[in-house]
Every structure is written in structure tokens, then in C-alpha cells.
Amino acid sequence: MNSRSIAARDKIIVALDVPRKEAALDLVRQLAGQISFFKIGLQLYTAEGPEIVRAVRGTGAKVVLDLKLHDIPNTVARAVRSAAELGVQMLTVHLSGGEAMIRAAGSARSGDLLLLGVTLLTSANEQTLREIGIPDKIDNHVLRLAKLGVSAGIAGLVASPREAKMLRAEFGKEIKIVTPGVRPGWAEEVDQKRVMTPREALEAGADYLVIGRPITAHPDPSEAVARILDEIEA
């Protein structure tokens, strides 16, 4: 694999949105030669607990622990310490938890752990904002939370690819941008509303692309990854 392929490989985070440890590890082993990062989210972590993180790390893979922490500052700080002890590379926290919570998370970070501040879920739209009492445009809300997070010490942001260009223009190379809601043109539509293709997301300014079902639900996940890498490198 040449250096260009390695660079492309390190931009993809495969979401292990599967119910059990065995299925997750099977995917990790299938894709080990193509992908460096794997995301463990609420479904898998709730089913398997910290052991699934240790198992995936034990294969040599890098882990993004996507728990979207949102609680009182002391509780979030303790959770961040626990995640750091597991050796994960990235951990998500909800920026809507406020400045005190964000700073508590940052103070508990250790080593090279990158805290990722979640702005707005990709399943949300302006109707969602109105339902929770926020009469604003999505871009305004995302930027407001992003500024809060960065001012409180966050070095990475999670936002849909449709906000990536705005965030890159605002913060430059100061932050890492992680974008879920990335779907190749050949993938089926799902419940995410603010989406782009992998190539579009990278051109908009994303550093990392979170891709789940287009890979994990594909009859041949390795082939799906290869197609996505081809698109990125084209």
C-alpha cells in the first residue's frame, strides 16, 4: 500500500454499529489492512462494556469512543479519565452540556486523547431545533456551539459535512473536524438528513469521515471500503 493509500485510509472511521462483540471483531479483522480507525458507539458499548474497547484495541486498531457524554461536570470528568485509561484515541462529548462541563472534560484528558465536541446530530433539522425551543438556523446553532467548545479548550468538532466548510473557515487548521453523515453515492438513503459523499466531505474541510452502514451492511465490507478509497483518491 503506497503512502497516498495510507493517507486516505487514515481519514475513514468505520462505525461498528453492530450488536455484539463477535460481529465487531469480525469486521475489524476483515478491514484491518485497509482501515486504521473504528468507532464504538452506544449500541455496542452498552452490550459489551469496556471489554469491547480492549478487544478492538488489542487488534492494533485505533478507537473512537462515541458516547456523546452529557452530564454534570464531575461525572463527565470521571468518564473521560476512564476512557483515557482504556487507550482510546478519540472521545465524544456533547457541547450542549455547557462550558463548565466541557472544561471539566478537558481537565480530565490525558495523553494523546482527542476530545470531540458534538454540535448537532446529523438526524436533526430546523424542525428538530424548534421542537426543543431553539428558533434558529442550523448553521448558526452549530457555529455557536463550536465557538463555545473551542473557547473551552476543545480541539475537535463533530458536525455534518454540510457545516464543515463553515467551521474550517472559522477555525482554520486549529481544530480537527469529524463528519458523520457521509454516504457514497451508491449507498441507500437512511435517517441522516445532512449528508455528503466522501469526496465532497473532504473537499468541504473534513479531517475524518465516519462511515457505517454503507460499509458494515455491504455484502462485502472490504469491497465497499475499496470503492470509497478509490473515490477519495480519484
**Which residues are the active-site residues?**
68
Scan for cell 438513503, then name that residue: 189
Retrieve residue 94's grid coordinates.
456533547
Distance of alpha carbon 127 from alpha carbon 102, whole angstroms: 26
CA dihedral 195, 33, 4, 164 (to 10 degrees): 20
Q: What is the DSSP string of 166-222?
A: HHHHHHGGGSEEEE--B--TTSPP-S--S-B-HHHHHHHT-SEEEE-HHHHTSSSHH
Backbone angles phi, psi at 209, to 5 degrees: -115, 120
